Amino acid sequence: MRYVIIGNSAAAIGCVEGIRHHDPDSPITIVADEPHHTYSRPLISYLLGGLVDENRMGYRPPDFYEKNRVETLLGVQVTEIDPQGRSISLAGGGELSYDRLLISTGGKPFVPPIPGANLPGVFTFVTWEEARQIGHFIEDRQAKSALVIGAGLIGLKTIEALLARGMKVTVVELADRVLSRIFDPTASRMADIILRREGVDVRTANTVTEIIGRGGHLDHAVLRDGERIDCDLVIFAIGVRPNTGLVPADSGIRVERGIRVDEHMRTTAPDVYAAGDCVEAYDRLTDEYHQIAIWPLAYRQGYIAGCNMAGYDREYEGGFPMNSISVCDVPTISVGIIDPPDDGDRYEIMDDYDRESLTYKKLVLRGHRLVGAMFINDIDRAGIYTGLIREQVDISQFKEHLLSGSFGLISLPKDYRKHLVMGSGIEV
């Protein structure tokens, strides 16, 4: 059996470990366009902000590939996948055959086609190399001001890194509020307050229509309403889309917004699997298939794919969104469905908002089950609520205690507490 993995991030590493758990000997080859040893992508904002150095970027120890007998082709671009011929083509010529293939190509940053988007000083921010480039640019040009386009997750991490470098930051967001995809309106207002308190110039319901350079340097950007924003650099942080460009239209691999996979992480082509930010996988709370671009799910999908590639039957039971971020050092966690659609009495909301202390707790119930939770500045028991969502525990016996200050493990049914202590198996 010959395994080939395209990509070298969380899903790829999960796949290697899943394969090796059941097949210790067959050859594995990783092909990735980035030249680095596998690294922790969530740390790139801390690297840019000077909070970690490059020695702490590794996702696995330096000897990971050697110990797992993995051949690596790093800094090598895959140009095409041929499921019929069971091979992939490499840039510069050459092919690599496989018996089982994993596509874990991640997400690709979205940059709208606006004039000036290719000027020096305009960046995206999703890789280690981009963090290096931005850092070098700031130092070489002695940049003092930055414009961030997009106030979602990537935008917020970008803002934090730039603030840590002492820069003046303006953020422009097309939606009418920041973090609109993972926060409800109340939480978005709180995040807006926190950002402005840190000196960030927040512009919502607006966008950039042109970026202007003068004398070989970036000079300013023009907004849709005609306003000019002076800046030394621009970072597009609008978001990422599933990177499915390697999949030919006639490959037999079903692609919607992402690569569609089943409960075994198989695509619709024989012996081709996919995992991570490039896929549409099952969301157990909405009963739909879509991209959930978070690190732990990418690893888990990759691990399950690896187990199945090695012949061990293991099912992916579905995931749900989970985001833990800080907004200028204010901790926040959002899990599951946090801003449900207005469809009658299907959902029930329980919340507790303290404007003075900027703390917020919100729970979303559907029937007798918890399906969403959000916490700002008060995250101590978030793990308990996440467990209730994951396990879909009937909360009717202790519903009235869910938001009380004393709520904790002791509030839960005895059988469920025993389950938590004893466990039902290792969760990947």
The pLDDT of residue 344 is 57
Digit-by-digit pLDDT tens for the chain (428 residues) are: 999 999 999 999 999 999 999 999 999 999 999 999 999 999 999 999 999 999 999 999 999 999 999 999 999 999 999 999 999 999 988 999 999 999 999 999 999 999 999 999 999 999 999 999 999 999 999 999 999 999 999 999 999 999 999 999 999 999 999 999 999 999 999 999 999 999 999 999 999 999 999 987 899 999 999 999 999 999 999 989 999 999 988 889 999 999 999 999 999 999 999 999 999 999 989 889 988 989 999 999 999 999 999 999 999 999 999 999 999 999 999 999 998 887 656 899 999 999 888 999 999 999 999 999 999 998 988 988 999 999 899 988 888 888 887 676 666 766 665 555 545 443 33
The pLDDT of residue 249 is 87
Rounded CA-CA distance 196/328 in Å is 10
Residues 6 or more apart whose Cβ sits within 8 Å of residue 130: 44, 123, 124
Rounded CA-CA distance 17/3 in Å is 12
**Pairing of β 122-124 and β 233-236:** parallel
Q: Check: CB of residue 126 under 8 Å from CB of residue 154.
A: yes
Q: Please enumerate, as own/partner, the contacts of 41-45 that have beta carbons within 8 Å and a separation of 24 or more.
A: 41/9, 41/10, 41/126, 41/127, 41/128, 41/295, 42/295, 44/125, 44/126, 44/127, 44/128, 44/130, 44/131, 45/125, 45/131, 45/157, 45/158, 45/160, 45/161
Which one, of 106, 114, 233, 122, lies nearest residue 167 by Cα?
233
Tell me how many helices (H) and strands (E) the chain has.
9, 26
The pLDDT of residue 418 is 54
The pLDDT of residue 404 is 82
In which region does residue 180 sit, left (phi positive, over 0), alpha (psi from -120 to 50) or beta (all else)?
Answer: alpha
C-alpha distances in Å from residue 327, one per residue of 180, 239, 324: 14, 17, 10
C-alpha distances in Å from residue 361, one per residue of 226, 390, 406: 39, 18, 14
Domain annotation for the chain: domains and CATH numbers = 3-108+241-309 (3.50.50.60), 122-238 (3.50.50.60), 329-422 (3.30.390.30)
The pLDDT of residue 413 is 65
Q: What are phi and psi of 214, to 5 degrees?
A: -140, 135
